[in-house]
Amino acid sequence: MNKPDTFGAIAGVLCLIHCMFTPLLFALQSLSSGFGAEMLSWWKNLDLFFLTLSFFAIYRSTRLSNNVLIKSALWTSWVILFFLIVNEKISWLPIAELIIYITTSSLIFFHIYNLNFCQCKTDDCCAPKSKK
């Protein structure tokens, strides 16, 4: 993965689109008997796929980034998104869907910011410095 921030931002945008269309899809499904339950089950679990993709993108991005705050922001956003998605699956707490949109948007923003402003310019810039 040469451009993990680009990959992470694209995965985030696809995840956001998925989140926005899910309520519409289920509303349409309730009005029509044409949708099969198989389609809805894979669609409902697509958020776990995007969450997994974003984990690997963040892992790689934070290894290449030289900004500690952005690294923390990426991981914090991912942990919050993970909690929100798991919460949505088990219906533990009633949390507004808007929070998922905000968290996903923040992940996209942090990936784009990291891509543009926080990348290492050499191969060894993120390597641990030896003590002299």
Residue with tokens 């919050």: 80
pLDDT number for residue 16: 81
Residue-wise pLDDT for 118-131, tens only, equals 766 555 554 444 45
Sequential DSSP letters for 97-131 = HHHHHHHHHHHHHHHHHHHHH-B-SSTTTTSPPPP
Tens-place pLDDT, residues 58-96: 998 888 888 899 899 999 999 999 999 899 888 889 988
Q: What region, left, alpha or beta, does residue 123 occupy, with left being phi > 0 and alpha being psi -120 to 50 degrees?
A: alpha
Over residues 2-35, the pLDDT tens digits come to 587 787 888 888 878 877 777 776 666 666 555 5
pLDDT of residue 55: 92
pTM of the model: 0.74
* Distance from C-alpha of 35 to C-alpha of 56, rounded to nearest angstrom: 33
Going from N- to C-terminal start, the domains of the chain cover: 4-117
Q: Are 57 and 5 in contact (CB under 8 A)?
A: yes
Torsion 22-24-29-35 (CA) sign: negative
**pLDDT on residue 46:** 81
Rg over alpha carbons for the chain, rounded to the nearest Å, is 18
Angle at 57 between CA 89 and CA 97, to 5 degrees: 30
Question: Quick one: pLDDT band at residue 132, thresholds 50, 70, 90?
Answer: very low
- Count of beta carbons in the 10 Å neighbourhood of residue 42: 9
- The pLDDT of residue 127: 46
